[in-house]
Structure 1
């Protein structure tokens, strides 16, 4: 290069790199290109075909390695989460997306004590969210095992013949809420309640803070059975936590094409629990969403803009999703046509669940208008793959609950977690009845070996297909048709006006 030849600057190089990246995405085009076809299935089919299990798996490998080199976790307050966020942001920016990673604050639960000691038996309890704590040093009393029936510890009659005054109540999970179990135990005179799981896995759960009477914690099935064998032993329970305001980040990006006043938004939780790499929960949904975004590209041929989000700190009272929605005005929230969520979509003993948008399970409660239509969009796609989906009575603690509370139409996918697969479900979907959908849910074994990649591929295809359809038209959800349909309607009105004018 001669001295007189202009030297390319860094911005020029960056623009070239972005242009190459955009050219590599199968569905991308320039913002001035023609809109997507009016048939919603066309874009959805193309996107589902472009999203492959191999590429999603590569993202999972990245998340596993990030966890392995950061203390085995990707929890929202840890370097593992920040590096997970950096990985997603880096892949998106390299593809040409404009990425933002706003800060949010949340009340992180910090464990101060977690022990149960009954003679030679030791257990590590999980204090129920919003349960009162024990005093420093714990509470001591005789261990009483509540008889097991269909509804153990759910009514005061279950304590008939048991002297529970000053005791530690040991109760099997099931039949009623954790709140109810500890209320009844307190009524019987117990000073603490231990609820052991009825399926494999840790005893996660929560109680209503307004009704928390005695310290309550969850145990695994094995811990519960071991303690049952030493019932009557003087037992000490020490469970204490405190809340600590913590700052973290989430990630949001949006296509540069499509209507910005009728945005199709989709998101997934990115962080794990502190004791796990979280590869099925939450890696599978985050990895699938990343691959869908990369294949869609930053400037695709869509009628409606698509907004992607990766959240942190899902299982607390101030989630990233809630923080994000509160940062929007009502008018900005109106710009969001719907929200599509996914969670644990590669479970090894999988079920095929779609979020219950029409309350057909009778237990979800009123949903925003349009949610039932989203549910049916997923159901129809899976039926086309010869998969009969069930409505899911989903967990209201998940990120999407924030959108439901904002009256934004919501739907999504779920392959099951700690609950047991029923014989009917095993007949319908295969797998093993009487075993959890995900035996490693929120445990250290939730790693790369805890993913059914065929299930993950089907669910990723379903999400891609439905997303592509709504990026074309949201008419069945909120009455906003595809651009071509609006143009045809305007042309028909103009033609009619011209005809009438000529008749006069």
Structure 2
């Protein structure tokens, strides 16, 4: 990951209101659990039974668990390459080209169509490696990328051998599975990111506008194995962000929004031309707070990666746990966003409303509705109610599920709980209710001074 002039690596998460600033210090940000994959426009009032909903069958193809040992084997190769080539894999140096050749050889053997894109910067030749998996809709291209170059000071195993190895092993898993996704899959390894995203910029600049418009999303992975890790999700495209949050929630790992990445890694050139972007980051030289250490483990008061841009960024400078979780999240995103399935799909059919509904401060209750159709008999005895509410003080919220016949099932009472947001899945015995009909999520803010909205919610039958 490239640096700001003052050396900063991460920004603090955004604050949304004065009350948030007052209370956020009391609790870590809650993890996103069940966010929908639909973009939604804000609305000021309650949604009607005809509000936007989606019914989709459970996916039939699950993403694999990516073996972290395989990812580490690629990193050992990058380390060996650096050691044999002056201690680094930097742009214009032989270690970088050897890294490109290693990755290309693996992809060629796995059945990918690969090509090298040459560019020049800093008086030296650079290379991007682009790999396409056969099949999928050529007008809907899902890309995943990582920069393959290191700084000249060291081998760059976390920055960014980790992201490069993570997407390489995911690409190889696609091949092993013989995957046939709906979207066309493309992977990329960028050169000269450490000089200012030069490789990815060269690629984006080379694309005609019609080709840019075919990229449905670009996923960026820059530093995913930091030794004192955090779990940061880029705050960019809603669908991509929600996909990553959903995965981490499924393994009970809280996340934080990563806003610092804007303009600092290879998603920036894509974002600048209107391509939806997202990604993951485990932290660089910014200091882990005590709240983050309580949430994620590790050591407060120390950087997420104390070897950032240093010679000690070797294979000893990794968290296996972070590397494993983040690589599995990459696979989840590729399988899910590519139209191939999900690693943690609910059992049954999902009905969802992703339209935003504002919750008035200390005001009347509001509702958001989903229309359930096509079900036989009554609702399940373990009906899953996935809720994503953004709010600056969740202790003020009272939440009910209202069945089609008007019966209310209390999901949450108000309580002295200073943390923000309600992002979880409730289980309701709704076996006495007819499944088909209009179900509503009813939310009321019973205390003053705090604001929020229903982001999305869903029922799984």
Mark yes or no: TM-score above 0.5.
yes
Offset of 1:97 from its aligned partner? 1.2
Tell me the distance in 1 between the aligned counterparts of 2:334 and 2:134.
Answer: 16
Structure with the bigger percentage of helix: 1
Instruction: Tell whether the 8 Å contact from 2:151 to 2:194 is kept in structure 1 after alignment.
Output: no
1:372 aligns with 2:238: yes
1:46 alignment partner in structure 2: 63
1:462 alignment partner in structure 2: 329
2:302 is matched with which residue: 417, 435, 448? 435
1:472 aligns with 2:330: no
1:285 aligns with 2:163: yes
Tell me the distance in 2 between the aligned counterparts of 1:314 and 1:435.
Answer: 26
Tell me the distance in 2 between the aligned counterparts of 1:281 and 1:72.
Answer: 14
Instruction: Tell whether the 8 Å contact from 2:180 to 2:340 is kept in structure 1 after alignment.
Output: no
Q: Tell me, what secondary structure is at the counterpart of 1:324? A: helix
Tell me the distance in 2 between the aligned counterparts of 1:95 and 1:402.
Answer: 29
2:140 is matched with which residue: 262, 286, 305? 262
1:295 alignment partner in structure 2: 173
Offset of 1:40 from its aligned partner? 7.4
- Distance verdict in 2 for CA 1:447–1:317, change over 3 Å: closer
**Equivalent runs, 1:109-188 vs 2, <5 Å:** none
2:95 alignment partner in structure 1: 80
Tell me the distance in 2 between the aligned counterparts of 1:466 and 1:282.
Answer: 19
1:104 aligns with 2:119: yes
Structure with the bigger percentage of strand: 2
**Equivalent runs, 1:350-361 vs 2, <5 Å:** 350-357=229-236
Tell me the distance in 2 between the aligned counterparts of 1:63 and 1:39.
Answer: 42
Pairs aligned (count): 284
Q: Tell me, what secondary structure is at the counterpart of 1:103? A: strand
1:338 alignment partner in structure 2: 217
Q: CA RMSD in A?
A: 1.6
Instruction: Tell whether the 8 Å contact from 2:91 to 2:124 is kept in structure 1 after alignment.
Output: no
Q: Does 96-105 or 74-83 show the bigger shift?
A: 96-105
Instruction: Tell whether the 8 Å contact from 2:90 to 2:96 is kept in structure 1 after alignment.
Output: yes
1:70 aligns with 2:98: no
Tell me the distance in 1 between the aligned counterparts of 2:57 and 2:196.
Answer: 41
List per-residue Cα deviations over 1:119-140 (Å, max 9, x = no partner).
xxxxxxxxxxxxxxxxxxxxxx
Instruction: Tell whether the 8 Å contact from 1:74 to 1:274 is kept in structure 2 after alignment.
Output: yes
Structure 2 gap segments, 5+ residues each: 1-55, 342-461
Q: Tell me, what secondary structure is at the counterpart of 1:55? A: helix
Tell me the distance in 2 between the aligned counterparts of 1:433 and 1:399.
Answer: 29
Offset of 1:376 from its aligned partner? 1.3
Instruction: Tell whether the 8 Å contact from 1:40 to 1:473 is kept in structure 2 after alignment.
Output: no
TM-score of the pair, normalised by structure 2? 0.60
TM-score of the pair, normalised by structure 1? 0.55
List per-residue Cα deviations over 1:310-347 (Å, max 9, x = no partner).
00111334611110011111000011000001111011
Q: Which has the higher contact order (CA 8 A, sep 6+)?
A: 2
Give the 4+ runs in structure 1 shifted more than 2 A: 38-43, 315-318
**Equivalent runs, 1:320-339 vs 2, <5 Å:** 320-339=199-218
Q: Tell me, what secondary structure is at the counterpart of 1:105? A: strand
Instruction: Tell whether the 8 Å contact from 2:150 to 2:194 is kept in structure 1 after alignment.
Output: no
- Distance verdict in 2 for CA 1:315–1:434, change over 3 Å: same
Structure 1 gap segments, 5+ residues each: 1-37, 109-244, 358-370, 475-504
